[in-house]
Amino acid sequence: MDLNTFCRELPKIELHAHLNGSLSRSTMLQLQRYLADFGVSDKSNAFLDEFQIGSGDRRNLSDCFQVFNIAHSLTSTQDTLAMATALTLKEFEDDGCCYIELRSTPRDTPHMTSRQYIETLIETLNTANTNLSIISCLIISINRGRLPSEGDGIADLAIEYHKKYPNLVVGIELSGNPTVGKFQDFVPALQRAREAGLKVTLHCGEISNPEEVSDMLMFKADRIGHGICIHPNYGGNESTWNLLCNYQIPVEVCLTSNINTKSILQYSSHHFKELYGANIPIILCTDDKGVFATSLSQEYSICAETFGLDASKLARLSLKACDYIFMTDKRKILREKILNFINKNEL
Ligand SMILES: CNc1ncnc2c1ncn2[C@@H]1O[C@H](COP(=O)(O)O)[C@@H](O)[C@H]1O
Ligand SMILES: [Zn+2]
């Protein structure tokens, strides 16, 4: 079996996927057509060709945040939001993903409220859990670029829907443009959600800001995303690196995302090496598979090629990811599924 086929067949766990960054070109075209048929205007026409970030482009991290507006204009109705979610889950399943924690930022649009946004996602995930083999659940996102009061409102909704659907609304996370907003302003909302039983993951160290990174690590989130500027060689310092090593906080590693946003110059100099070497728990994830034109199996494949991981090591990376999922009651069944694959392929 060649590497790409192996990576697709390996049952995988996706723990860091933003819904609106995950829309493939084909999904966006379907949404565009649907909106046009119903006479709803969107601003995707002029930009769709530019949406996916190809290799050799000149966009940096900040520029990336503008491209999300295009996806947002396509998912502004309950119908298209549901379609986008269902199609995206199916694509993850087709790529050999057996469990996904999809994340998204509830927002008011001209056609729905934040509450309806969450309800649409819950309904779609529920249906997907009966119709598809992939197990899916929801992490609710807070955008650090918005006002802390908006974060409070989202935390309230997350807590309310976690109580109603504890097996579906499993976590809360902080994301958004890392150059905007302050982590500390969102701590009360995140803390409240945590006390209500939601798990927490934070985008941490996307840019160099050792003070904020220290605060985030000391918050002891259940997981962090990216974790780039933590090691002293990558814009962190001894103290931030020691905190991560001592707390052993699992890191959602998004290789292609980090390359495309220019946070890392080449795959071979990615901090995966340092994290793996220090035995920090790692989960390979896509971040925004639509924007960065990647897939979870491609991320596994790139990881294997760049860091010389053989099939057995790659499969064990996927197996280990089960320990860090937020739907804790699914750990056993997922472990068994991946172990079966390992045994069948004598890895
Ligand atoms: C590239 N690295 C990243 N760093 C930080 N936040 C990111 C991100 N990629 C995506 N998002 C966050 O996810 C939103 C889109 O999905 P949803 O509308 O929530 O489904 C973006 O607006 C941003 O807030
Ligand atoms: Zn992200």
Residues 185/141, Cβ–Cβ less than 8 Å: no
Ligand 1 within 6 A of CB of 286: no
Q: Which of 19, 57, 63, 68 to mutate to test the pocket of ligand 1 (most atoms within 8 A of CB)?
A: 68
Ligand 1 within 6 A of CB of 173: no
Q: How far apart are CA 152 and CA 65, in angstroms?
A: 22
Biggest CA-to-CA distance, the chain: 57
Q: How far is the CA of 64 from the centre of ligand 1 (A)?
A: 9
Ligand 1 within 6 A of CB of 18: yes
Q: How far apart are CA 70 and CA 21, in angstroms?
A: 10
Q: What is the model's pLDDT at position 92?
A: 99
- Residue 203 CA, closest ligand 1 atom number: 5
List the one residue out of 105, 188, 101 whose CA is nearest residue 140.
105
Nearest ligand to residue 14 Cα: 2
Q: What is the model's pLDDT at position 47?
A: 63
Catalytic residues: 206
Ligand 1 within 6 A of CB of 21: yes
- Residue 261 CA, closest ligand 1 atom number: 1
Q: How far apart are CA 193 and CA 201, in angstroms?
A: 11
Q: Which of 120, 175, 212, 291 to mutate to test the pocket of ligand 1 (most atoms within 8 A of CB)?
A: 175
Q: What is the model's pLDDT at position 67?
A: 79
Reduce the secondary structure of 200-253 to three states and give it as a string.
Answer: EEEEECCCCCHHHHHHHHHCCCCEEEECCCCCHHHCCCHHHHHHHHHHCCCEEE
Task: Tell me which residue has tokens 């292609």.
Answer: 256
Q: How far is the CA of 65 from the centre of ligand 2 (A)?
A: 11
List the one residue out of 318, 292, 293, 290 whose CA is nearest residue 304.
318
Task: Tell me which residue has tokens 């002029």.
Answer: 46
Nearest ligand to residue 19 Cα: 1
Q: What is the model's pLDDT at position 212?
A: 98
pLDDT digits (tens, 9 = 90+) for 231-259: 999 999 999 999 999 999 999 999 999 99
Ligand 1 within 6 A of CB of 176: yes
Please tell me whether residue 204 adopts helix, strand or coil conformation.
Answer: strand
- E-strand ranges in the chain read 12-18, 97-104, 135-143, 169-175, 199-204, 223-226, 251-253, 282-284
- Residue 107 CA, closest ligand 1 atom number: 18
Whether residue 214 is predicted with pLDDT greater than 80 in this model: the reply is yes
Tokens (6 digits) for 102: 């999809």
- E-strand ranges in 70-219 read 97-104, 135-143, 169-175, 199-204
One-letter identity of residue 50: E
Ligand 1 within 6 A of CB of 252: no
Q: What is the model's pLDDT at position 55?
A: 47
Q: How far is the CA of 263 from the centre of ligand 1 (A)?
A: 15
Q: How far apart are CA 130 and CA 135, in angstroms?
A: 9
pLDDT band for position 138 (cuts 50, 70, 90) = very high
pLDDT digits (tens, 9 = 90+) for 176-194: 999 999 999 999 999 999 9
Taking residues 320-340, report their average pLDDT: 98
Instruction: State the chain's mean pLDDT as an integer.
Output: 95
Whether residue 46 is predicted with pLDDT greater than 60 in this model: the reply is no
Tokens (6 digits) for 269: 């100099």
